[in-house]
Amino acid sequence: MTPTKKTPTIYDVAKLSGVSIATISRVLNSPDKVNAETHKKVMTAIDRLGFVPKAEARARAMQGTGRIGVLTPFFTAPSFVQRLRGVAASLSKANYELVIYPVDSLDHLQGHLSSIPLMKNVDGLIIMSLAIEDIDAKRLSASGMETVLIEYKHRGMNSILIDDEHGGNLVAEYLIQKGHKTFAFLGDIEPPEKFSIHPVRSRLKGYKQTLQDAGFSLPKSNIHSAPYTQKESREAAFEILQLPKPPTAIFAASDFQALAVMKIARQLGIKIPDDMAVVGFDDIDVAEHVDLTTISQHLDESGRLAAEVLLSRINEGGRPLQHVNLPLNLIERATA
């Protein structure tokens, strides 16, 4: 019917450039595996012919899409970013693409969760710091979409967990051992949105528990809640520092908020750690810069791990579900 020139295939390119089709494929998919000269020859041929690989054939031959999706709260907090970095590191090593779905509302989350399994345009999913509902979990596993949850547990899905409560314990122990007698807490413990998780409450719980077990009290007046914003964190910090009987130790449930405390303290001429001790949580990059004593939750590592668990589930059939509990440890620096 059509005696005219068909659209060029990989075979045409191979013939023109004098190599085998395998090499063409390699030039396109793993260029680092082919000699620079060959690469150039092939690219020339490709350009000359205007060759475009047929997506459909490609998808067929490849056992998947080579893409991993990450659902993450819209990345505003440094800790998310740092996790993401870990994920990116693992994926790029394994030659997977990273597709990011920022979530900033329940609708958003629901939309993604319902469309992703249908579209199947990713081979696996990492859900970071988001609470998912039973029905979504079911949909995901029914459609065979491998998923790893970070910071949230669901039977039937892999998860990477942080023992926030234990983190709270660690902080309290440390402060007690340092000889402190009066304590405060700053964190975001407002009733969260439906889809969000509340690690901060667990941190508080552990903190309080250990304090009480040791015979210390954490009065209501010393527990201040502030949303995760610059302004409000500072206001809360200000309130704590202006308390009639100011505590000698503050646990801020995130490094970000610990920074706020440090800043206000400086403004008020309160010396850290002499007048007051501050301990944060997360160990984000800057913590080290400002010498903040904090709980490291190995953010990079948790991302890396999530990606690795996911890939192993995808590529090695029938690996069992994993619930990894990441260790937490206190990093002693200059603020407490």
Which parts of 221-250 interact with a second copy (CB under 8 A)?
Answer: 230
Considering the complex, what minimum distance in angstroms separates the CB of residue 169 from a second copy?
Answer: 28
Q: Which of the listed partners (DNA, a second copy, none) does 274 bind, with a CB threshold of 5 to 8 Å by partner kind?
A: none
Output 68 or 240, the one with its CB closest to a second copy: 68
Residues in 144-173 at the binding interface with a second copy, rule: CB under 8 A: 144
Residues in 112-131 at the binding interface with a second copy, rule: CB under 8 A: 114-115, 118-121
Output 18 or 227, the one with its CB closest to DNA: 18
What strands lie across the sheet with 223-225, from one edge to the other?
Answer: 223-225, 183-187, 249-252, 277-282, 293-296, 329-331
Alpha-carbon gap, residue 205 to 327, rounded angstroms: 18
- Nearest CA to 294 out of 171, 179, 124 is that of 171
Could you check whether the bond before residue 78 is cis, i.e. omega within 30 degrees of 0?
no
Residues in 31-60 at the binding interface with a second copy, rule: CB under 8 A: 31-32, 43, 46-47, 51-60
- Piece of 28-36, 99-107, 166-174, 273-281 that binds DNA (CB under 7 A): 28-36
Structure tokens belonging to residue 45? 């041929």
Question: Position of tokens 């005219």?
Answer: 4
Alpha-carbon gap, residue 252 to 281, rounded angstroms: 7
Structure tokens belonging to residue 182? 């009066």
**What residues contact 197, with CB distance under 8 A and at least 6 apart?**
129, 130, 131, 151, 152
Site track 52-91 with DNA (rule: CB under 7 A), x = hit: xxxx-xx-xxxx----------------------------
**Contact positions vs DNA (CB under 7 A):** 6, 9-11, 18-26, 28-30, 33-38, 51-55, 57-58, 60-63
